[in-house]
């Protein structure tokens, strides 16, 4: 592959207004805008990231949280290798919706997709409704990593994207290595067969 070792697709999902677009904007452009408008359908950005020496081209797909776009966005789950489930720490409703979003993943995404839980807007500590403990417990229930972030001040944003990129690349590279070993073994056994056929 030219210029990179691996290409991966990451999707952000979660209720409207939890900060999915702002998180992506913070990660890709290192900036924040309070006048972010709701995403229409789906949008994407590309980031290059190096994980343990491997150059990864990461396509980050940002889905609209609004109900009316559900059918459109569900089509994008299938090709995603990593999904960031985002809630807003100041909104219990967005936190409780995470179970429904996980159900959507089970219906529409591949079985092996890597997931990560994000509690965003930690700069709004005074309005916090979801404790760190609750977030940690939910992530433990699903057996996934958990980060609390702020798209506004950038806290933990790079770390969260790095974590999902790493878990996806570890899984995909392990599969690629296994397939390479398999085809090497097959090639070797073919050439052995060829030798014995020609000699007898
Ligand atoms: P949809 O596109 O409708 O799904 O929404 P979204 O999840 O992409 O939310 P968006 O990024 O558009 O942010 C919604 C609102 O929350 C905007 O007014 C942002 O400025 C604000 N916001 C996003 N992230 C943060 C954050 O970390 N801290 C604070 N204080 N506000 C945030």
Question: How far is the centre of ligand 1, averaged over its atoms, from the C-alpha of 112 (Å)?
Answer: 29
Regarding beta strands 54-63 and 42-51, do their DSSP bridges make them parallel or antiparallel, or are they unpaired? antiparallel
pLDDT digits (tens, 9 = 90+) for 17-54: 999 999 999 999 999 988 778 888 888 899 999 999 99
What is the pLDDT, as a whole number, of residue 200? 38
pLDDT(180) > 80 = no
Ligand 1 test: best mutation among 12, 21, 118, 122, most atoms within 8 Å of CB?
A: 21
pTM of the model: 0.90
- Indicate which atom in ligand 1 lies nearest the CA of residue 25: 11
- CA-closest candidate to residue 142, choices 123, 117, 121, 120: 117
What mean pLDDT comes out for the span 95-121? 95
* 185 pLDDT tier (thresholds 50, 70, 90): confident
Lowest mean pLDDT among 91-105, 112-126, 163-177: 163-177
What is the percent of the chain with per-residue pLDDT over 70, rounded to a whole number?
93
Q: How far apart are CA 45 and CA 47, in angstroms?
A: 7
- Indicate which atom in ligand 1 lies nearest the CA of residue 149: 27
Question: How far is the centre of ligand 1, averaged over its atoms, from the C-alpha of 107 (Å)?
Answer: 26
Tokens of 38: 């709701």
| Mean pLDDT taken over the chain | 90
pLDDT digits (tens, 9 = 90+) for 115-135: 999 999 999 999 999 999 999
Q: How far apart are CA 155 and CA 134, in angstroms?
A: 19
* 188 pLDDT tier (thresholds 50, 70, 90): confident
* 190 pLDDT tier (thresholds 50, 70, 90): low
Residue 144 φ then ψ, to 5°: -130, 165
What mean pLDDT comes out for the span 95-115? 95
What is the percent of the chain with per-residue pLDDT over 90, rounded to a whole number?
69
Question: How far is the centre of ligand 1, averaged over its atoms, from the C-alpha of 188 (Å)?
Answer: 55
pLDDT(199) > 70 = no
- CA-closest candidate to residue 75, choices 111, 118, 42, 98: 42
Q: Atom 23 in ligand 1: which residue has the minimum CA distance? A: 19
Cα 8 from chain centre: 9
């Amino acid at each position: 592959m030219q210029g990179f070792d691996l290409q991966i697709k990451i999707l952000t999902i979660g209720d409207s207004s939890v900060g999915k677009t702002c998180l992506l904007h913070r990660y890709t452009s290192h900036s924040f805008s309070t006048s972010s408008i709701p995403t229409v359908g789906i949008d994407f950005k590309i980031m290059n990231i190096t994980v343990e020496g491997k150059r990864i081209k990461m396509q980050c797909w940002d889905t609209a949280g609004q109900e009316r776009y559900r059918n459109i966005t569900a089509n994008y789950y299938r090709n995603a290798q990593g999904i960031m489930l985002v809630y807003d720490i100041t909104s219990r409703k967005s936190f409780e919706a995470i179970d429904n979003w996980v159900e959507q993943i089970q219906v529409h995404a591949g079985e092996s997709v890597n997931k990560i839980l994000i509690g965003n807007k930690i700069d709004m500590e005074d309005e916090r409704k979801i404790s760190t403990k609750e977030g940690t417990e939910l992530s433990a229930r699903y057996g996934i990593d958990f980060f609390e972030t702020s798209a506004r001040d950038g806290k933990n944003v790079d770390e969260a994207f790095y974590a999902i990129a790493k878990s996806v690349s570890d899984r995909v590279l392990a599969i690629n290595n296994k397939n390479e070993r398999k085809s090497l073994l097959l090639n070797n056994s073919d050439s052995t067969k060829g030798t014995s056929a020609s000699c007898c």
